[in-house]
Amino acid sequence: MLNTVLAMWWDARATLTALISIFAVLWFLRAVVMKSRKVVPPLPPGPRGLPVVGYLPFLGTELHRKFEELAMAYGPIYKVWLGQKLCVVVSSPSLVKQVVRDQDTVFANRDPPIATLPATYGGNDIAFASYGHDWRKLRKIFVREVLSNANLDSSHILRREEVNKCIRNVYDKIGTPIDVGELAFLTVMNATMSMLWGSTLRGEEGATVGAQFKSMLVELMVLFAKPNVSDFFPFLARFDLQGIERQSKRISQWIERILDSAIEKRMDMAKEKEGGKGRIEEKKDFLQILLEIKDQGDAATSISMNQLKALLMDVVVGGSDTTITMVEWVMAELMQHPEAMRKVNEELTEIVGVDSLVENSHLPKLHYLDAVIKETFRLHPALPLLVTRCPSQSTNIGGYCVPKGTRVFLNVWAIHRDPKIWKNPLEFQPERFLISDPTKLDYSGNNFNYIPFGSGRRICAGLPLAERSLMYVVASFLHSYEWKLPQGTELDLSDKFGIVTKKMKPMVAIPTPRLSKFELYTE
């Protein structure tokens, strides 16, 4: 009897063990199958293109507007094939936040156009360098050393000298039409050259170098914005079919000779000081600051000569061209809106007074002019698509897969004009920025409804310099002169797309003195 019971118990145990084993195997197999069937998020929706060339033939020349149009059809995130390049366009604040805040490190890389590489020494600058140790070091040096508050305050003397010089030159042309964009170009570029190497290249030599530098810079910026077959079809890059890379190299080599000359002179000046032959200068230009950093010898903080030159190019290209463009846009919007112009003039008269020129100390008090500039940045962001980002690994945005290496555009232009975000978005209303808490709509990139300078790790490194320079130049132009359109002319606010989007047609205006003292224009 006992044997029978034990046999039955053993059979039941064996059966239970077998059932558990079978269940475990089935559970394991189910898990494997489910894992193999795990749903991979799809690519974002998007328009169909043609074989090989993708959507390239349909883009047109106004990329920011075309991207906005596609967003209306496919939503706030969509894909578009440009040749062999997969591009994803994002045009909503919530999705931008996922890119620049939630996954900022993943999207911190760049996919620079080939035309930019010679000018940036192979992407050795802040704007186009890949995210990593070298980039972090460069940005830290640039922000903390070159663009420190002390250096910006010190360099104001150099900016003021060049701005006042341009104001005096305008006085000789009273009553005659002036190209405002050209005036802005001369003013900002002269000020930039002075800050770069103001105490290194002087007098006639400095003027000659500056004029040549300006012409080359204009040509280089055209190349940066020009559609390049080599960018869309990397396997054709070696052939440089349009010659864009060759032209960029030619200009970059010419600019490098200027940089080399300035660097050599600055180093000679340093040797003279060490030998007791030169006096110690109180004010340092950016070149001197960077050379001192380069010679520190500490691997953690020093930079190479190519990195030094690339940083100088960042100041010229990033700090000058955007400021020049925005000066013209601000002036154009004010010319188009006389009531806003009247308020700006009244504020300048109250804060500065008609018996003196604009000084650095006046700028924080010009609240309405600040609102005008911010509203202009909303309607006309200098970089409407910012600088493209490139994920270092495949990831998800808005429930869609964004593969590693995708070129990601953030359509700031569309966000700034979105009626779901802004009331009467196409109207010029500076008052929308006159709110109780100005930090809600500043340039810091924390409010994703308004990011003219970008956001996150790759926010514009030159923001402090750009903000000060733009405000000072615009305030000086408007305070020194009243500006009116030539009789019978109309203002055209259409734009021309590029890396930096400019006015389609130059703005011409006639200046009339506002200041009470003749000496302010002549001394």
Q: Which of 50-64, 187-201, 251-265 bottoms out in mean pLDDT, i.e. has the lowest?
A: 187-201
CB 317 within 8 A of CB 214: no
- Most confident by average pLDDT, 164-178, 199-213, 395-409: 395-409
202 vs 161: CA distance, rounded Å: 13
Compute the Cα dihedral for 224, 226, 227, 229 and give only its sign.
negative
Give residue 50's Cα distance to chain centre. Answer: 32
3-class DSSP state for residue 85?
strand
Look-up: residue for tokens 């808005």? 398
Distance CA 291, CA 288 (A): 5
CA distance 123 to 165: 35
393: nearest Cα among 23, 108, 20, 19: 108
User: 450-480, pLDDT tens digit by residue?
Assistant: 999 999 999 999 999 999 999 999 999 999 9
Biggest alpha carbon–alpha carbon distance for the chain: 128
Where residue 176 falls among pLDDT bands split at 50, 70, 90? very high
Chain centroid to CA 129: 14
Q: Is the pLDDT of residue 317 over 80?
A: no
pLDDT bracket for residue 9 (50, 70, 90): very low
Residues in the chain, overall count: 523
Alpha helices, H only, 275-383? 286-294, 305-316, 322-336, 338-351, 367-379
In one letter, which amino acid is 514? R
Q: 375 is written with which tokens? A: 């509203």
Q: Give every strand in the sheet of 508-513, ordered side by side.
A: 178-179, 508-513, 481-484
Q: Judge whether residue 195 has pLDDT over 60.
A: yes
Mean pLDDT of the chain, nearest integer? 87
- Give the span between the Cα atoms of 90 and 68, in whole angstroms: 10
**Selection from 366, 319, 288, 257 nearest residue 125 by Cα:** 319
Name beta bridge partners: 409.
89
CATH number, span 56-522 = 1.10.630.10
Please give the Cα distance from 134 to 523 (Å, whole number).
Answer: 46
* CA gap 125, 287 in Å, rounded: 15
Which residues are paired to 401 by β-bridges?
396
The rounded distance, in Å, linking the Cα atoms of 177 and 483 is: 10
Span 13-71, pLDDT tens digits: 555 455 455 555 455 556 554 555 556 799 999 999 999 999 999 998 899 999 999 99
> 194: which 2 tokens?
């002075």
Find the helix or strand (DSSP H, E) in which 179 lies: strand 178-179
pLDDT at 12 over 90: no
Residue 482: DSSP 8-state: E
Residue 231 CB contacts under 8 Å (≥ 6 apart), including other chains: 83, 85, 113, 114, 237
Q: Which two tokens stand for residue 160?
A: 């003021």
**pLDDT interval class at 10 (50, 70, 90):** very low
Cβ neighbours of residue 459 closer than 8 Å, sequence gap 6 or more: 444, 445, 453
> Residue 238: what pLDDT?
93
- Quick: pLDDT tens for 203-233: 565 566 666 776 777 788 778 878 899 999 9
Return d(Cα 190, Cα 188) in angstroms, integer: 6
Give 279-314 pLDDT, tens digit per residue: 545 567 888 888 888 877 676 778 889 999 999 888
Which residue, among 180, 188, 197, has the nearest Cα to 217 in the 3D structure? Answer: 188
Q: 223 near 288, Cβ under 8 Å?
A: no
Q: What is the pLDDT of residues 471-517, one digit of tens each?
A: 999 999 999 999 999 998 889 999 988 888 889 999 999 999 999 98
Q: Report CA-CA distances (Å) from 455 to 220, 422, 458.
A: 26, 19, 6
For residue 464, the one-letter residue type is P
**Planar angle of CA 22, 23, 24, nearest 5 degrees:** 90
Give the pLDDT confidence of 366-375 residue by residue, as tens digits.
999 999 999 9
> To the nearest whole percent, how much of the chain has pLDDT over 70?
86
Instruction: Please give the pLDDT value at position 211.
Output: 67
The answer to whether residue 400 scores a pLDDT higher than 50 is yes
Burial of 113 (0-12, 13-18, 19+ CB in 10 A): buried
From the list 57, 45, 170, 164, the residue with the least C-alpha distance to 473 is: 164
Q: Pick 212 or 78 by higher pLDDT.
A: 78
Closest to 92 in 3D by CA, of 323, 337, 380, 415: 415
Provide CB contacts within 8 A for 6, sequence distance 6+.
none
- CA 114 from centre of chain: 18
Q: Are the C-beta atoms of residues 345 and 482 closer than 8 Å to each other?
A: yes
Separation in Å, CA 154 to CA 284, 285, 438, 465: 8, 9, 27, 12
